[in-house]
Amino acid sequence: MSENRDEMVEAEDEAFDEEESGADGQTAFEDRMDDAIQFSESIIRAIEVVAAYVLVGLFAVGVFDLGLQIGEQALTGRIFQPEVVVGFIDTALLLFIIVEVYQTVVAYTRVDSTRRIVRLVVYTGIIAIVRKVIIFRTELFDEKLQALLTAGSYTLILLSLSVLLLVERRYMPE
């Protein structure tokens, strides 16, 4: 009799386990957790899309502003002065940075390969450092040592990013 009772308890336990588990063997709790995680991923993806549109807006405003700057400087006759041209280049490189960040956000949203995302981040870093190098002026520093350390830092960062990009392209198989 106790053997029958044990068999009945085991059968009830198995039936209970089958009710609690889905078709893939997950419990109801695990199913709810999966649903919650999927919902949170949907929210993140929606926010990423909003961020992409914000970057598109920033880019459009930046292009319009650059056009206004060029027009204003052309009217005043200062358009050929070196510091004005450097200012245009600075703004244009900032626009390129916005484009690279936009492409990175889109790559995240599309769930592109990690390698593509890393490459976009490295490109963004290179453009940002080149921008800093172009607008670098030693006269903006109180001491020449500060200027030298800043220039050295820019050089080190640019070389590091360049080596990273070279290694990624040359030695890592697609």
pLDDT given for residue 87 in this prediction = 92
| pTM of the entire predicted model | 0.69
pLDDT given for residue 151 in this prediction = 94
pLDDT given for residue 70 in this prediction = 96
pLDDT given for residue 57 in this prediction = 97
Kindly list the domain boundaries of the chain, sorted by start residue. 29-171
Q: Long-range contacts of range 125-131, CB-CB < 8 Å, 24 or more positions apart? A: 125/157, 125/161, 126/158, 126/161, 126/162, 126/165, 127/93, 127/96, 127/97, 127/100, 128/93, 128/97, 129/154, 129/157, 129/158, 129/161, 130/93, 130/158, 131/90, 131/93, 131/94, 131/97
Which residue numbers in the chain have pLDDT < 70? Answer: 1-25, 173-174
Summarised one tens digit per residue, pLDDT across range 34-46 is 889 999 999 998 9
pLDDT given for residue 113 in this prediction = 83
